[in-house]
Amino acid sequence: MAELTYRDAVARAIAQEMERDENVVFLGEDVAKAGGVFKSTVGLYEKFGPRRVRDTPISEQAILGAAMGAAMTGLRPIAEIMFADFVAVCFDYIANEFPKLRYMTNGQLGCPLVVRTGNGGGARFGAQHSQSIENWTMMIPGLKVVAPSSPVDVIGLMAAAVRDDNPVIFHEHKSLYAVKGEVPDGEIIDTLGTAKILRPGKDATILALALMVPRALAAAETLAAEHGIDCEVIDVRSLVPLDTATILASVAKTGRLFTVEENPRLCGWGAEIASIVADEAFWDLDGPIVRITTPHIPLPAADHLEDLALPNAPRIVEKISRVMNGSKR
Amino acid sequence: MAELTYRDAVARAIAQEMERDENVVFLGEDVAKAGGVFKSTVGLYEKFGPRRVRDTPISEQAILGAAMGAAMTGLRPIAEIMFADFVAVCFDYIANEFPKLRYMTNGQLGCPLVVRTGNGGGARFGAQHSQSIENWTMMIPGLKVVAPSSPVDVIGLMAAAVRDDNPVIFHEHKSLYAVKGEVPDGEIIDTLGTAKILRPGKDATILALALMVPRALAAAETLAAEHGIDCEVIDVRSLVPLDTATILASVAKTGRLFTVEENPRLCGWGAEIASIVADEAFWDLDGPIVRITTPHIPLPAADHLEDLALPNAPRIVEKISRVMNGSKR
Amino acid sequence: MSGKHTGSRKAGLSNDDIGPETRLELYRLQVEIRDCEKRANDLFFQNLIKGTSHLSLGQEAIAAGVAMAMQPGDKSFCTYRGHAHTLARGVPMEQVLGELMLRDVGLMRGKGGSMHLTSVEHGVMGSYAIIGAHLPIACGSAWRAQYLGQKDVSVCFFGDGTTNIGAFHEALNFAAIWKLPVVFICENNLYMEYTPIGDVTAVEHPAADRASAYGLERIVVDGNDADVVYRTAQAAFVKARDGGGPSLIECMTYRHSGHSRADPAKYRPEGELEKWLERDPVKIYRERLREFGISEAEITAIDAESKRKVEAATELCKASPPAPAELLTTDVYADGGWSWRN
Amino acid sequence: MSGKHTGSRKAGLSNDDIGPETRLELYRLQVEIRDCEKRANDLFFQNLIKGTSHLSLGQEAIAAGVAMAMQPGDKSFCTYRGHAHTLARGVPMEQVLGELMLRDVGLMRGKGGSMHLTSVEHGVMGSYAIIGAHLPIACGSAWRAQYLGQKDVSVCFFGDGTTNIGAFHEALNFAAIWKLPVVFICENNLYMEYTPIGDVTAVEHPAADRASAYGLERIVVDGNDADVVYRTAQAAFVKARDGGGPSLIECMTYRHSGHSRADPAKYRPEGELEKWLERDPVKIYRERLREFGISEAEITAIDAESKRKVEAATELCKASPPAPAELLTTDVYADGGWSWRN
Ligand SMILES: Cc1ncc(C[n+]2csc(CCOP(=O)(O)OP(=O)(O)O)c2C)c(N)n1
Ligand SMILES: Cc1ncc(C[n+]2csc(CCOP(=O)(O)OP(=O)(O)O)c2C)c(N)n1
Ligand SMILES: [Mg+2]
Ligand SMILES: [Mg+2]
């Protein structure tokens, strides 16, 4: 058991998988000699050498295209797209190539690769370097999509992603890189498609992802202490596959659902889950489903404005307590 | 009043706007001399000449980038991205450039342009030429997004889009190009952000878009005739801005909501609307909100398989009648 | 048509580096592609082919010449205009026509359609319908070969219009700096869909005139002469296998039909097609065989066998049912299914 | 550093096409950019600049030389490394530093941040932070000028690393075929973020060695000599204004600091920085002024005035509040608001 940052967990996870399987290779911009712009891949180049850990030109399409070509012919590439926002310049691979290959070829070819991205806001980087793009990837059939919130989940889910025979988009959160957590020694493997109940509760279910998880947890403590509202907090972790069983069971118990989403509102992951619950658990619901999201705006650079935009614990507390008190239950 | 195809309505709409405003220019691949691969822009080159109607290389990023640069300095470009799927190769402009320019520059610059795309399935074109990508654009703050279902709406909404001072994504449906409809003579202008109740009803609200509109209407007739279920059918038309007033009023009246979406399920426009209704109209609901969508898969090329995938009138009837009968109301 | 490798005519049988066996094979491939493509065209007009399809009529020499230079294990990355390249690697006609007809007998049982022909068994690693996307993908396949020390070459086919999209540029630079065993074949048929390539390209030879931007040699060849294509490709493959890195070959050619099934190609200047029909690759090659003393009987036998194959394949396809409905949701994910939730 | 326009030194004051007035202005611009960038660096270490920032220390001659050659109405399209180009067009320091400090006094009142400096009033049409995106955008601005018969030129600045992304390729071809009045200025500072450009590029001069792929002239110049940059840009602008189409100019330079605020630039080989410091553009230019007989007093006055400006701007920014909270949701749409529903 050791304390590890989320940042160092990334490097450890990749190292774990590269050690296990010689076919795992890693490429991206400034990822090798420099250890990545977020310093999340420090040491990999030294450990695995220039054959397996490769710096690329600023050519995101070439990075993802090459990863795909290698994946479909036998390798297990991990590709970094530095800031998640840059997924937009290589979106063809995300939307049209990776996820359709197996289907279009009737199973003749597969695309076992992982795309890592530095996702999310909070670093005052402005509108083109701060987006939460989980829904850009969740909406595309044929991908798997995960977004860990803790160092141990980074390792376990990365291992599962690398070993998965499908294209997996792995959203790391930039504002979590410095966060520390306990991580067991030895190999860690987790399971895609599993949500985690981080705080059991009986009055309401709160779903959160990545940076929103610690905020939801903090809010739940305040809601319990100051408002007598006992929330169950679930870290969704995996958007595809989606652990609807855990979510539906929780809503069956609590009767109320809140989502805490960093994405701008429209078509966020919470919308999809809300629609599932409003269909399949409608009769379990004791009141409205409420989504707490970033407003549907680009993100501002200024610290005080960015802080206003992203959901935080006080806003979660305010919203949930108000909704729960106003409930016609 | 004349009968016009949806295809010809596109050309007429563009001509109407180009005649009105010399700053309206039109560019895209094979759009000028050849009149477009869907023949939807035939005659514009002849009418407005090579200065205003321009063929481009296969360079979607250059097309959208050039449209943006022209828009922010005074022109009113209409750009064609031939198949909506190709939005993936120029998604940076859709996601990171057009919609953030005004915000990032604190209002110093705007981006008044229209991107037309041939959207949707039904033509047996396979997984990379058949997608419904409304949600790719709806999820991005700062865009406006429309998807007309009839020739007259094509003209009116195109006029509104060209005159709007914001970037508007205009999703034409490939499988509607041959559809005919009555169109009044003279100038036609419509309003973005307005849904249309095409069939009033009291038992359930059905929301549909583009190709799903005629199918929802057909289903509603069958539901009324054979199942005694009187559905209100609303053509959403504009995803952003979204006419939530019309939708919420309808649900308040009917108590039931169904969406008919061509997109693969996850994070479709129906998810967003379902989440809005499950929040704001929860107490109006008499039963689950049910989304009828294409399954979350890439689209197959084979005709019989594609027909199975896209929602159609029988499937809509089957689903709605089953759900309405099983209602615990 | 300038540049390297252009001259091909040999004075006579002496000093023939290609030889009659290969020549007959090159001929057979071209004829079979020609006949199969013509049949595809007929089937479309009989409404037996739905959706779209993009023929290589007139461009057969490139598919044949490159494929003949390939070895088993080499990988082809094709476009929507990929029937020819798929057939050239030995994929049976009924699997190609069957996919065009969206029948169960098709290569992907109708799930992919004409634009996505794939036969991994024959080294056809997919046909891609988003312009430019497969150039980086071919780089990745070549990277795998380099990484694993495997000796296969990845070959990527694309058109003149494709050279103007960003992915072309990224792939060429990437292949060059990593010295990847990949060969890029640009089939310059003078048009993108309907627009002449010269109207939208800053250089005369859209691929070759850009080779130097990636430190590569400028290569333009007569793409209607299968011998020329064969020799040029062979040299590039040897270089790639020897660790010499990528090549970019621009083959000048012309498509006899429209861009896709529905295009009557009215945008062509008068006489252009006729001029190119004189340089029809099949015609050229038939003369070549005669020049090298191949008997008329041998030629006719190949012609007849090709027609027979097309007939047999057509019948087989017509008799084939559509795929079962269950196929709709198979193979989205590696577990064979489409489940995105529990 | 080979190619056109390289030689710049004049024998003496005679035959001086630039003249003392312009020279003093070129010097002033470089000094003010230098001082302002240094101040930005200090402010970052005082934690008064949050987020990121990318300095042009060492690259001032390019910003100054190009801006001096521009006319009012000409349009600049910059990158995240755009403070220098913004200042060079005459934007007051406090508006630049204010934006870096995310204060209300900033150009965009803190909404955009350091990577998106924009001052339409001064012809600065935005700074773009997605590599390559603004090259096509600059084409569009140039297209507008051409379309409306306006005589302004659009200038697009970018780095060496940017030449390897697809948008570069699309924009260059597009500009060339439409003969657009746009000038592309590549600041080759030898590195992308931390990776030497030579490690990831197939040619020595990432921009100039690709000019021919777009039918353009090969131009590489000494980017640390403001006179050279000024003359080269002037020629390109004249050509653009005369309908001669685009130019691509590669300016060789070096950044004295790391890529962005937090980068200590340890990846540089020993002695490299020192070598380039000898060719410091400000130092070079100070010597140039002396060479041309400008008095020490005049030089010192400019230096002093620059320092004064930086101090005044810093104080103004420190005193500026953050923007009011209401700004969060303004100017998403043209109606000034953010409403996506009724
Ligand atoms: C990104 C993208 N843009 C546009 C298209 C539509 N399209 C299909 S084929 C084609 C022309 C391609 O021309 P070329 O590369 O010369 O190939 P050819 O069809 O002549 O073989 C175009 C524009 C596409 N499939 N993908
Ligand atoms: C599409 C995209 N990929 C990667 C980045 C991250 N990035 C920011 S600056 C930079 C290096 C750019 O190098 P260069 O073009 O030489 O400009 P310089 O910073 O040296 O001025 C990179 C990779 C980005 N902003 N956009
Ligand atoms: Mg072509
Ligand atoms: Mg650089």
Domain boundary (B183, B209, B224) is at B183
Cα(D36) to centroid of ligand 2, in Å?
Answer: 22
Both A97 and A136 in a single domain? Answer: yes
What pLDDT, on the 0 to 100 scale, is given for residue A58?
98
A299, A175 Cβ separation under 8 angstroms: no
Phi and psi (nearest 5°) for A166? -120, 165
CA dist., res. D137 & res. D128, Å (int): 10
List CB contacts (< 8 A) between B58 and chain C. Answer: 131-132, 161-162, 164-165, 192, 200
Domain boundary (B183, B213, B228) is at B183
What pLDDT, on the 0 to 100 scale, is given for residue C11?
41
Mutate to test the pocket of ligand 1, among C53, C56, C162, C192 (most ligand atoms within 8 A of CB): C192
Q: Give the CATH number for residue A149.
A: 3.40.50.970
B327 pLDDT tier (thresholds 50, 70, 90)? low
Nearest atom within ligand 1 for CA of residue B29: 23
A89–chain D Cβ distance below 8 A for any pair: yes
What pLDDT, on the 0 to 100 scale, is given for residue B329?
42
D67, D21 Cβ separation under 8 angstroms: no
What pLDDT, on the 0 to 100 scale, is given for residue A329?
43
Tell me: the pLDDT tens digits for D256-295? 999 998 898 999 999 999 999 999 999 999 999 999 999 9
Residue B81 is inside which H or E element, if any?
A: strand B76-83
CB contact under 8 A, C210 and D213: yes
Q: Give the CATH number for residue B235.
A: 3.40.50.920
What pLDDT, on the 0 to 100 scale, is given for residue A327?
58
Q: Is residue B222 included in any domain, yes or no?
A: yes
Both B58 and B176 in a single domain? Answer: yes
Query: What b/e string do you get for B176-190 counting C-beta neighbours within 10 Å, with b at 16 or more?
Result: bbebebebeeeebeb
Tell me: the pLDDT tens digits for B276-285? 999 999 999 9
Domains with residue ranges and CATH for chain C = 13-324 (3.40.50.970)
Residues of D in CB contact (< 8 Å) with A are: 50-52, 102, 109-116, 128-133, 161-162, 164-167, 192-195, 199-201, 267, 322-323, 325, 327-329, 332, 338, 340
Q: Closest Cα partner for B329 from B257, B225, B256?
A: B256
Cα(C249) to centroid of ligand 3, in Å?
Answer: 14
Structure tokens at A216: 């939801």
Search chain B and give the residue with CA nearest A323: B279
Both A23 and A163 in a single domain? Answer: yes
- Best C109, C128, C143, C335 residue to mutate vs chain A (most A CBs within 10 Å): C143
Q: Is residue A190 included in any domain, yes or no?
A: no
Q: Is residue A188 included in any domain, yes or no?
A: no
Res. C9: pLDDT tops 50: no
Number of domains in chain A: 2
Res. D234: pLDDT tops 70: yes
Which residues of B are known catalytic residues? 129
Q: Is the dihedral of CA A32, A38, A41, A43 positive or negative?
A: positive
Domain boundary (B183, B216, B246) is at B183
Distance of CA C15 to the CA centre of its chain: 29
C1 pLDDT tier (thresholds 50, 70, 90)? very low
Cβ partners under 8 Å of residue D114, min gap 6 = A126, A301, D49, D51, D52, D53, D54, D80, D83, D99, D100
Q: Is residue A320 included in any domain, yes or no?
A: yes
C13, C293 Cβ separation under 8 angstroms: yes
What pLDDT, on the 0 to 100 scale, is given for residue C15?
60
A213, A175 Cβ separation under 8 angstroms: no
Q: Is residue B189 included in any domain, yes or no?
A: no
Q: Is residue B188 included in any domain, yes or no?
A: no
Tell me: the pLDDT tens digits for C174-206? 999 999 999 999 999 999 999 999 999 999 999
Q: Is residue B254 included in any domain, yes or no?
A: yes
Both A10 and A120 in a single domain? Answer: yes
- Paired strand residues for B79: B27, B115
CA dist., res. D167 & res. D136, Å (int): 7
Residue B329 buriedness (CB in 10 A; 0-12 / 13-18 / 19+):
exposed
Omega of the bond prior to B167 within 30 degrees of 0, cis? Answer: no
Predicted TM-score (pTM) above 0.90: yes
Residue D266 buriedness (CB in 10 A; 0-12 / 13-18 / 19+):
exposed
CB contact under 8 A, D165 and A305: no
Both B77 and B165 in a single domain? Answer: yes
Both B244 and B97 in a single domain? Answer: no
Biggest alpha carbon distance in chain B?
63
Both B134 and B204 in a single domain? Answer: no
Q: Closest Cα partner for B152 from B255, B1, B44, B294?
A: B1
Q: Is residue A191 included in any domain, yes or no?
A: no
C50 pLDDT tier (thresholds 50, 70, 90)? confident
Which residues of A are known catalytic residues? 129
Both A166 and A221 in a single domain? Answer: no
Residues of C in CB contact (< 8 Å) with B are: 50-52, 102, 109-116, 128-133, 161-162, 164-167, 192-195, 199-201, 267, 322-323, 325, 327-329, 332, 338, 340
Range of the domain at B92: 2-183
D51, A304 Cβ separation under 8 angstroms: no
Both A45 and A135 in a single domain? Answer: yes
Omega of the bond prior to B241 within 30 degrees of 0, cis? Answer: yes
Which residue has the CA at smallest separation from atom 10 of ligand 1? C193
User: C-alpha distances in angstroms, C53 versus B82, C61, C63, C102?
Assistant: 17, 19, 17, 12
* Mean pLDDT in residue range D1-24: 61
Search chain D and give the residue with CA nearest C136: D166
Res. C170: pLDDT tops 90: yes
CA dist., res. A292 & res. A206, Å (int): 10
Res. B154: pLDDT tops 50: yes
C88, C67 Cβ separation under 8 angstroms: yes
Both A95 and A224 in a single domain? Answer: no
Res. A120: pLDDT tops 50: yes
Both B206 and B178 in a single domain? Answer: no
Tell me: the pLDDT tens digits for C263-301? 989 999 999 999 999 999 999 999 999 999 999 999 999
Distance of CA D68 to the CA centre of its chain: 12
Query: What b/e string do you get for B241-274 counting C-beta neighbours within 10 Å, with b at 16 or more?
Result: bbbbebbbbbbeebbbbbbbbbbbbbbbbbbbbb
Q: Residue C2 CB: number of other CB atoms within 10 A?
A: 10
List CB contacts (< 8 A) between C199 and chain B. Answer: 55
CB contact under 8 A, D177 and C199: yes
Res. C4: pLDDT tops 60: no
Both B214 and B179 in a single domain? Answer: no
Work out the minimum CA distance from A232 to partner chain D, whole angstroms: 31
